[in-house]
Amino acid sequence: MTYSDVTKNVVTTTGFSTDEHVEPFQTATMTCMVLPHELVFVDCGIIPEIASKFRSDMEERFQKDTSHLLLTHVHWDHIFGMEAFEDVRIVASTVGITYLKKNLKGMFSKERREKTAKRRFSNRKEIAECIKNAKLFLPHIGVKEELRIGPKEEVIFKVIGGHSKDSACVYAPEERVLCTGDNLLTYYAQLPGNPRKTLEIFRFWETLDINSVIPGHGDVVGKEYITAVRTYFEELLSVLKTLKAQHLPLKDVLNHPSLPHYFGKDQPPWTEGGKPHTEWLEMNVKSWYKWVLTSPKF
């Protein structure tokens, strides 16, 4: 496993090598934050063995025990490795715990997971086995708005919504590090929720004292990346508003020359095409244009 030292007290990994970054779940980040007397982890990926190794390596390196696992949201690619942290306090938003309780009888039931593994991962035995055999359970602590951890509140878990109603971010003020969950991605196009809420989240993040940003998927970036994505979304909404006034159908909007170019971490301006799941960008444009069409005050 390759680890990235974001600061001397913050380490992150995906658990997969760069060459293996083929599907979104392989780019989901896991983070360890070192507090004076404990370790706090953020998200745990889907493979318990990888999550367990990350935890044990960090406990050995820093000579501290783990106290918490913080879940930025309860989507499968961020929680299926949670059994590696079964003995510590696992934290999620109260909304997320409600969702997970429902999903344990639905899409995350043993029967449904077996079908998903067979349908989507028939050629990936290791992943299929993780999906089928994942030991899932409800987090121990539900947070409605905010939870602060550490003697000097070194870690702040804040429920913000956006990507999903249960989404949270994790901020370490002294380290000047932000874990965004899936409200920010660097390896794929963004997956925003409601446009107003999305921009509200990005503007809030821009008020924080941040040096390093750990996305839900992809590589660590600087605070300027937040501003770049926020600016793109504002430009996109402005163009969509203009196209709405022209009464253009969705099919004409998707390829309209006035749409702003999206970008990638190392190659702005970036028109997607070189990475898998490039339909995400088109999906977002569709979603936001439909929102513009149905929002009379916009």
CB 158 within 8 A of CB 167: no
Determine what percent of the chain is predicted with pLDDT higher than 70: 91
* Cα(187)–Cα(215) distance, integer angstroms: 9
Tens digits of residue pLDDT in 45-63: 999 999 999 999 999 999 9
Chain-wide mean pLDDT for the chain? 90
Where exactly are the structural domains of the chain?
Answer: 4-224, 230-293
Q: Where is pLDDT greater, at 18 or 103?
A: 103
The Cα 61–Cα 53 span in angstroms is 12
Angstrom distance (rounded) from CA 298 to CA 296: 6
Q: What is the pLDDT of residue 255?
A: 83
Q: pTM of the entire structure? A: 0.92
Q: Which residues contact 74 (CB under 8 A, 6 or more apart)?
A: 92, 96, 97, 99, 100, 103, 166
CATH number of 4-224: 3.60.15.10
Residue 17 gets which letter from DSSP? -
